[in-house]
């Protein structure tokens, strides 16, 4: 049981810690909307990781042949979504900068908790690499290959907890960033910087 717990934690952190486009968007979203919205978004990402961990322990070796034919289309969809987010963030930042030229007002919240959760869940599920990653870990581990149903549950829960803790940590960083950059120019700079970064990270998915 402890081996499954450790394996799940390591797997969860392994897929969550590398900061990519989704993590960048999570930080930016939290900075612009607050910690409450960011926490829901973070749990959306973690839920996707947990679902893929569950699929991996249930499907095993049957997963990879199914995913490989649709991996490229899913990657293109993921890139399109991320580029759309980048454009939206950039144009919104410019528009708000112009609209607030006469008064430095706080930007209103444009997204609710449920929408934040569902949108980040959907974006993360578009990445087929995650389920291949978990499947490879399950198939490549002698302990997990011979694990019981209870140990599989422990593995999935541990992977979810690890991912959730890291995503919430990123959201907390976004909340601090939001408090530090609440000015009119600060919001414009962070919007343009995040738009450019998400664009680069999204395009990198093609390679």
Listed residue (189, 168, 192) closest to 180, CA to CA? 189
Per-residue pLDDT of the chain (207 residues; tens, 9 = 90+): 677 788 778 777 876 766 667 777 888 888 888 889 999 999 999 999 898 888 878 775 566 566 667 767 766 776 777 677 678 777 877 877 777 655 544 444 467 899 999 999 998 888 766 766 676 666 555 565 566 778 878 888 998 999 999 899 988 888 887 666 556 676 677 667 767 766 775 676 566
Which residues form the domain of 154? 2-204
Listed residue (182, 189, 24) closest to 93, CA to CA? 189
> Model-level pTM?
0.69
Give CA separation, 199 vs 22, 102, 103, 205, in Å: 11, 31, 30, 10
Write down the residue that tokens 């797997």 correspond to. 11
Residue 135 C-alpha from the chain's centroid: 19
Alpha-carbon torsion, ordered 119, 121, 164, 160, to 10 deg = 170
Report residue 84 as tokens.
Answer: 């759309």
* Distant-in-sequence contacts of 83-87, Cβ < 8 A, 24+ apart: 83/198, 83/199, 83/202, 83/203, 85/25, 85/198, 86/194, 86/195, 86/196, 86/198, 86/199, 86/202, 87/195
Domain count, the chain: 1
């Amino acid at each position: 049981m402890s081996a499954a717990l450790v394996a799940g934690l390591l797997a969860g952190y392994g897929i969550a810690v590398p900061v990519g486009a989704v993590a960048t968007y999570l930080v930016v979203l939290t900075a612009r909307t607050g910690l409450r919205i960011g926490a829901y978004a973070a749990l959306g990402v973690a839920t996707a990781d947990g679902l893929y961990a569950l699929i991996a322990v249930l499907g095993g070796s049957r997963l990879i042949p199914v995913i490989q034919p649709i991996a490229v289309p899913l990657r293109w969809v993921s890139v399109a979504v991320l580029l759309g987010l980048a454009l939206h963030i950039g144009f919104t930042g410019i528009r708000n900068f112009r609209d607030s030229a006469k008064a430095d007002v706080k930007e209103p919240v444009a997204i609710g908790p449920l929408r934040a959760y569902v949108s980040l869940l959907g974006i993360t599920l578009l990445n087929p690499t995650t389920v291949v990653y978990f499947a490879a870990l399950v198939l490549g581990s002698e302990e997990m290959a011979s694990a019981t149903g209870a140990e599989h549950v422990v593995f999935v829960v541990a992977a979810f907890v690890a991912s959730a803790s890291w995503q919430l940590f990123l959201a907390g960083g976004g909340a601090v960033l939001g408090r530090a950059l609440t000015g009119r120019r600060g919001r414009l700079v962070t919007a343009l910087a995040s738009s450019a970064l998400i664009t680069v990270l999204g395009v990198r998915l093609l390679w």
